[in-house]
A and B are shown apart, each in its own frame.
Chain A
Amino acid sequence: KQEVTQIPAALSVPEGENLVLNCSFTDSAIYNLQWFRQDPGKGLTSLLLIQSSQREQTSGRLNASLDKSSGRSTLYIAASQPGDSATYLCAAPYNQGGKLIFGQGTELSVKP
């Protein structure tokens, strides 16, 4: 059974700092791993999806890595901005059909 864990639950950093969000999963036979952003009271926005054959994906200031052997993924945010403040969730599919198992999320606050 796939279980996804995110640490820390909350993180506060000053503007401009580089930061790393962590995600761990129990079943290394994952098909892919997806990172989402959720703003308060809003839906989920997909940030990055890493296929199982990939080790990382980049989009602008975001870089996500995947290490299947250790059961870990990280989301690196460079030069953080107050607009990055949100909850970040990682999710791994339970099966090839795509049933996603979500972590509890990391609530990020970037202080100006």
Chain B
Amino acid sequence: DAGVIQSPRHEVTEMGQEVTLRCKPISGHDYLFWYRQTMMRGLELLIYFNNNVPIDDSGMPEDRFSAKMPNASFSTLKIQPSEPRDSAVYFCASRPGQGNEQYFGPGTRLTVT
């Protein structure tokens, strides 16, 4: 298996622009997680899905952030409009329904200028 796939790996955009981050979980995994990592706050969960349904979005910072999972093999995290404080590394992770170990993607490094 190729593991969790994220794209793009790097994104540089200007304040106010829309940003879309993409994730393909490991095939057969029922859970998908979006995390954000910053120097100040470390790793934080933004939202997670179970069988394509959002379960907990309490970590989504503002209405500017939205996430979707239209099918079992694809999820997006959208920021509209983006702000400089959104600059961070965004990780996607997945895990099987039976089992607890989460597998992380390589991350998307977002820079908003």
Q: Write the residues of chain A forming the contact surface with B, with a CB cutoff of 8 angstroms.
A: 31-32, 34, 36, 41-46, 49, 51, 89, 91, 93-94, 97-105
Interface set, chain B 70-113, CB cutoff 8 A to A: 91, 93, 95, 100-107, 109
How far is A51 from B56 in the complex, measured between Cα atoms in Å?
23
Interface of A is mostly: strand
**Is the beta-carbon distance between B106 and A98 smaller than 8 angstroms?**
no
Q: Which residues of B contact A34 (CB under 8 A)?
A: 100-102
Which chain B residue lies CB-closest to A97? Answer: B55
Q: By the criterion CB–CB under 8 Å, are A98 and B91 in contact?
A: no
DSSP class of B's interface residues: helix, strand, loop or mixed? strand
- Chain B positions within 8 Å of A, measured between CB atoms, are 31, 33, 35, 42-45, 48, 50, 55-56, 91, 93, 95, 100-107, 109
Task: Give A34 to B43 CA distance when docked, in angstroms.
Answer: 14
Whether the pair B48, A97 counts as a contact (CB closer than 8 A) is yes
Given A42-B106, A43-B91, A43-B105, are A97 and B100 also a contact pair (CB < 8 Å)? no
In angstroms, Cα B102 to Cα A91, docked, is 10
**Docked complex Cα distance between A41 and B42 (Å):** 14
Closest to A101 in B: B45
